[in-house]
Structures are given as structure tokens and as C-alpha cells.
Structure 1
Amino acid sequence: MSDLSVPAYLFVIDHRGGRGLADPEVLETAVREAAAAAGADILTAEFALRPDASGPAGVAWLRNGRITAQCWAELEYAQFDLIIPGEGAAQRAADQLARSLLPDWAKVTAVPLNHLSHLPPD
């Protein structure tokens, strides 16, 4: 069971423009670098071009989370979901994705996952 005292966030990241939006190998390398920047261990990763050839997609399963990626090359758009527990870990991964892929514009939305203040009192 995970330690709920450790902060965890879902980061939803939007990138416009940048490099590697049509190349699954570039995308996988960027995700692997992001996981390393976060100090996360990758259990398995799989990236491929979608059947309609609109762009690559993939997932890296981490020991305690995941990074998913989807790109639409014709729209020059990429979207990432990161769940990486640990203080600042997801932010370090998001920063590394931006350094690797060099988007023209990026937006990061962080949603706390183990925020327990919504629970009713005992």
C-alpha cells in the first residue's frame, strides 16, 4: 500500500509545437528522460505510431505511477498524463519533457490525488 502522507499529483500537460510529435522513438526517449529526472523506476514502456498514423502514443509504467503520451502531429499537439508520487517529482518530469521536446507553448495542470481533507470527520 502507498504511503498517503507522500504527496501525489496527476499532471495533465499540453504541448503545442516542438520536436518529435511524429516519431515514437523521440517520444519514448523524452518520456524515459522525464522518468529519470523524477527519480522514477520504469517497469515497462511501449510506444508506437497509432494505426491511423496521426501520431505516436505510449505509456511508461513506473514502480509507483505512470506517464502516458499521445501526439497528434498534424495538429502539432501532444498531451501527457503523469502520476509520480514524491515531493516535486512530477514537476521535475514535466520540466524534463519540455526540455526534451521544446514545445512552443505548454500548460501544466496539477490535480492532487491523495488530498484527504474532503473526508468526513470521524
Structure 2
Amino acid sequence: MQTLGRHILAEVYGCNFDVLNDIKKVEDIMVNSALEAGAEVREFVFHKFSPQGVSGVVVISESHLAIHTWPELGYAAVDVFTCGDKVNPWDACNYLAELFGADYINASEVPRGIFQDQEESKVVNI
């Protein structure tokens, strides 16, 4: 099986309220987690909500990282999607979980763009 990319869906629990509610800290952690994984950062945008919470995305040459935080719950929902085999999305997830002060992370990997031999493939209409 050949894939175009790897998509990590991470539920990050027990995080530090002050970190998850600080747009600059969340931005720095997300950008640095991409760099830590070996990605090439292109652009990023983050938004601070009132009374609390941050959402943002880091666009990388290899795809993207996205986050939505609920500081009052110590929770962050994180996506790390990488294409190719140069960047390991798990490195980014582990880095950000550590810097968010997470108690634990529940994450799964979804292969994206799965390709099979033409003879094995079939079209499925949804």
C-alpha cells in the first residue's frame, strides 16, 4: 500500500491553562513543533477567542498542523498532516504535548491518499 501522507488526530488532555490560553505561546509551540519534526514552515495564523481559547494553523511545505484549545478544560484538539516521508508527524505531536504540559495524549494515525494497484482498486460512490 502506498500513501501520500500521514494524518495524526490528537486529543491532548491535562494541559496547562495559561499555555493553552496564550496565543503567542500556542503559536510558538505549534511552529516549533513543525520545525522539530523537520517540516518547512510556510505561513501561520492564530486567533484568540474571548473569554478563552486559541485556534490556529501552521502551513508547512509538507501540509499543515492545526489546533483548537479549550483552556478551561485543559484540552487541545490537534491535527498534524504530513505528506512524503521526510517529516514524522509523531515528532511534532510529542513535542507539543510536552510543551503544553499534557498529562496524556490519545492519538491515532490515518493514512491519506491510499493508492493500490489499478486491478485492486474500485470506485465507490458516496
TM-score when scaled to structure 2? 0.81
Shift of 1:6: 6.2
Q: Which amino acid is 2:109 matched to? A: A
Count of matched residue positions in the alignment of Structure 1 and Structure 2: 117
Q: Which residue of 2 aligns with 1:23?
A: 22
Given that 2:3 and 2:112 are in contact with CA atoms closer than 8 Å, whether structure 1 keeps it comes out as no
Q: Pairwise mapping of residues 64-75 of structure 1 onto structure 2 (< 5 A)?
A: 64-75=62-73
Q: Distance in 2 between matches of 1:26 and 1:100?
A: 9
C-alpha distance in 1, partners of 2:67/2:96?
A: 11
Identify unmatched segments of 5+ residues in structure 1. none
Measure, in 1, the Cα distance between the counterparts of 2:3 and 2:110: 14
Kindly indicate whether residue 9 of structure 2 is the aligned counterpart of residue 12 of structure 1.
yes
Runs of 4+ off more than 4 Å = none
Measure, in 1, the Cα distance between the counterparts of 2:37 and 2:43: 16
List gaps (5 residues or longer) in structure 2. none
1:1-122 to structure 2, matched below 5 A, reads 8-19=5-16, 20-50=19-49, 52-87=50-85, 89-117=88-116, 119-120=121-122
Moved more, 23-32 or 6-15: 6-15
Cα distance, 1:86–1:92 mapped onto 2, change above 3 Å: farther
Q: CA deviation at 1:102?
A: 2.0
Distance in structure 2 (CA, Å) of the matches to 1:60 and 1:14: 18
Q: TM-score, normalised by structure 1?
A: 0.84
Question: 1:86 offset after TM fit, Å?
Answer: 3.5
